[in-house]
Amino acid sequence: MKKQTIITFILAIIAFSLPSANATKKQDKEMDRFISSLMKRMTLEEKIGQLSQCSEGYATGPDNSRISRAPLVSEGKIGSMLNVSGATETRKFQEAAMQSRLGIPLIFGMDVIHGFRTGFPIPLGEAASFDLDAIEMSARCSAREAAAAGLHWTFAPMVDVSWDARWGRVMEGAGEDPFYGAKVAAARVRGLQGDNLADTATIMACIKHFGGYGAPMAGKDYNSVDMSMGQFANFYMPPYKAGADAGAATFMSAFNDFNNIPCTGNTFLLRDLLKNKWGFDGFVVSDWGSVEEMINHRYAADHADAALKAITAGLDMEMVSECYTDNLARLVKDGKVSMKLIDDAVRRILEQKYRLGLFDDPYRYCDENREKEIINSRQSHDEARHVAQRSIVLLKNQYDILPLSTDIRKVALVGPLAKSQRDMCGSWTCAYTNTAVTLYDALKSRGLEVDYNDGYDIDSNNISNLGQTLASARNADVVIVAMGERASDTGEMASKGDISISADQQRLVSELVKTGKPVIVLLMCGRPVIFNQVREEAPAILCTWWLGTEAGNAICDVLWGDYNPSGKLPVSFPAHNGQLPLNYQYKSTGRPTAKGGWCTTYRDIPTAPAYPFGYGLSYTTFSYSEPNVTPSAKPGEYAVVTVDVTNTGKRPGEEVVQLYVRDEVASVTRPIKELKGFEKIALAPGETRTVTFPITDAQLGFYDNDMKYRVEKGDFTFMVGTDSSSLKSVKFTL
């Protein structure tokens, strides 16, 4: 293209984009004018009201017998409510807010974590899809339904990296990898917020729990988090930053202390890093009662001290506890808290209310007709099934038992989880706990003859009716066992010291395998679990997590090959509890492999995980060429890694091609490998695709102990493959 043409082309792009940039600037100016004028008219009490959020409906934390503060809404003393939903219900409280002196609208928030009325897979299950489009689709559907139910805000995505499957909330995030977690965080923010918060199909996102909540000592929920700044920056910080960079409207401070300061009063996290260094212009809400809980931390002496420390640190809105309501005015009058701090917090909150369009029309989200049309729609169910199919991970498929033949007529179905609508939805369900299609329902709807037996008691886990269950198996074409834990075994306040599947459940599978019938084990869980006996003895195993409303249908789609499973584990599965916390990005240490036991290993349990991060099989097979690396002249790109991937089987299938990087020598100790790229590709039988990974600062850099991002010259190893342990490598020197 001639130089002049290029210049004209570039000028055209600038000219074209100018109006939208101008429009944004104009909108912001109008917003500033409106909010400044409103704030000039607000009393100190009304400003403090905007900083207070109360809960109505169900409690998602210790209720401490709080009395309802709904009556304060019409006095302008509440700025937000959580756990209220429904066009009619939210309209009722909004009408009360409109009666206040200045009529500042409420914002309604709720934990729409993986679906509102149509349930999607638990976030950890969705993460197994390694399909960012599917993950964004899920968030978009959640937002569409939540907004139709009068909500403006979800306390999601939870982006806490976790290496410890004893922690029950591992189900709520994207697993153990910070690079992947950052991609998922951004996808979820895009899906929830779209590009216009005033759109009645979008809602505010909330990046939580800031920070480091996924690394509680001993895997115990709410426990202390103690790590170096380098560890935080390299392994836990990236998803939070990605959420901020994606434009998340809000953040939530975490319950835990972080380097000896409760997150809710942690100036380094909330003000220095989030608001100043990252330029975050949204607002920060506390977690449930976490302002007041600084007294329990023995960091605040009383409620007034807690309010002082929280507002000083940059905590804008107090969820549920009443430290701000009861103490901020006095603290201001005593000169202990400047109006500047109050005004900054109030402005941040009012700006989001403005962006939501609530000052134009406070009832824009309270439309009963739209609620009926949008919620639980066919579109929602189709999307839920699409995402659920892609979240399933094939762990084992001996003798190609799967996919099942359409000749199969008689199924022996075993395990109460196969019939449990409640458990099929997982933890952190919003309003859809009993709408799931169970595995039993789905099998019946395919016209199969299903002989069901509990096989084990869902609560005691003891084997029941073994003889009858075995007879049923002997009389069937195939045995399908729903094995696992209850949905309530993961989620908040669900840390467990032993994440093994019960011995009786495993013994039952063993007995079923001895019948000689083909046995398919469906692992239903919200966390990595330990099931070594079944792992050895069962010929076919699918990890189905908790898949939500379309669970049964999605599982059957995979069992019969209507969808070829493509999921990959976003978390390592341990072989023993003693391996926890466990992750694949461990450091070499000074004795990685010294002979004679002089190395980092155990005497009594295996060191290797049961299944590594990134692991997942398909009904077809794939082969990888040796990777190539070629220097690149493109600005900002050091090199390009390429690899040819071939579908060597007889079925079309999808493969998540993964790139890992090792910095051979650096100024701080670095992991033996880190995920720095992935691409999910679909290949027909016999088809080969060249997959390309750009190598930029993002692939080579790291944070030093002063949290400065660095790229150092030297030797690197690039590794590509189907999971974090099956890799081919190539050297590169920067």
Binding site for ligand GLC (CB under 6 A): 60-61, 82, 111, 155, 208, 287-288, 492
**CB 592, CB 600: distance < 8 Å:** yes
Looking at the Cβ atoms of 61 and 238, the one nearer to ligand GLC is 61
- Distance between CA atoms of 437 and 446, rounded to whole angstroms? 13
Q: Phi and psi dihedrals of 266, rounded to 5?
A: -100, 95
Tokens, residue 450 = 């299903």
**Residue 60 CB, nearest approach to ligand GLC (Å):** 3
Distance of closest approach, residue 320 Cβ to ligand GLC, in angstroms: 8
Rg of the chain's alpha carbons, rounded to an integer? 27
Whole-number Å distance between alpha carbons of 145 and 367: 12
Give me the least distance between CB of 581 and ligand GLC, in Å please: 20
| β-pair partners for 522 | 482, 542
| Residue 156 vs 643, nearer CB to ligand GLC | 156
- For the bound state, the minimum distance from the C-beta of residue 91 to ligand GLC, rounded and expressed in Å, comes to 22
Provide, rounded to whole angstroms, the least separation between the CB of residue 616 and ligand GLC.
Answer: 28
Phi-psi region of 342 (alpha: psi -120 to 50; beta: other; left: phi over 0): alpha
* Positive or negative: CA dihedral 183, 562, 121, 535: negative
Q: Please, what is the minimum distance in Å from the beta carbon of residue 48 to ligand GLC?
A: 21
- Separation CA 521–CA 487 (nearest Å): 18
371, 148 contact by CB (below 8 A): yes
Q: Assign 3-state DSSP to the chain and report helix, strand, coil percentages, each to 5.
A: 35, 20, 45
* Nearer to ligand GLC (CB atom), residue 82 or residue 501: 82
Q: How far is the CB of 207 from ligand GLC (least distance, A)?
A: 11
Whether 307 and 328 have beta carbons less than 8 Å apart is answered as: yes
The amino acid at 57: G
Smallest distance, Å, CB 291 to ligand GLC? 13
Residue type for position 409 = R
Q: Contact 545/432 with Cβ under 8 angstroms?
A: no
Of 117 and 670, nearer to ligand GLC (C-beta) is 117
Residue 555 token pair: 């599982």
Pairing, β 653-663 against β 715-723: antiparallel
CB burial readout 702-717, b (16+ within 10 A) else e: bbbeeeeeebbeeebb
Pairing outcome for strands 628-631 and 540-543: unpaired
Token pair in block for residue 572: 């390592």
Smaller CB separation from ligand GLC, 325 or 579: 325
Contact 170, 162 (CB under 8 A): yes
Q: Pick the closer one to ligand GLC by CB: 255 or 678.
A: 255
CB of 265 or CB of 671, closer to ligand GLC:
265
The H or E element that residue 677 is part of is strand 674-683
Between 155 and 324, CB nearer to ligand GLC:
155
State the minimum distance, in angstroms, from the CB of residue 365 to ligand GLC: 19
Please name the residue ranges forming H helices in 614-708. Answer: 697-700
Q: What minimum distance in Å lies between the beta carbon of 469 and ligand GLC?
A: 39
For residue 445, CA distances in Å to 329, 406, 439, 448 come to 62, 14, 10, 7
- Scored b (16 or more CB within 10 A) or e, 592-618 reads eeeeeeeeeeeeeeeeebbbbbbbbbb
CB of 61 to ligand GLC, least distance (A): 4
Residue with tokens 């169970």: 438
Strand partners, 734: none
Nearer to ligand GLC, 263 or 720 (CB): 263
One of 111, 177, 287, 454 is an active-site residue; which one?
Answer: 287
Sole residue written with tokens 């965080």: 185
| Helix, strand or coil, per DSSP, at residue 45 | helix
Active site residue 287: yes
* 288 or 638: CB nearest ligand GLC: 288
DSSP-assigned letters across all residues of 157-217: -B------TTSGGGGGS--S-HHHHHHHHHHHHHHHHTT-TTSTT--B-EEEEETTTT--G
Say if residues 117 and 381 touch (Cβ distance below 8 Å): no
Q: Would you say 109 and 53 are in contact if contact means Cβ atoms under 8 Å apart?
A: yes
User: Where are the alpha helices (H) located in 485-604, listed in sequence order?
Assistant: 503-514, 532-537, 551-559
Q: Of the two residues 134 and 263, which places its CB atom closer to ligand GLC in the complex?
A: 263
Min dist CB 78 to ligand GLC, Å, is 16
Give the 3-state secondary structure of residue 450. Answer: strand
For residue 509, give the 3-state DSSP assignment: helix
Q: Catalytic residue numbers?
A: 287
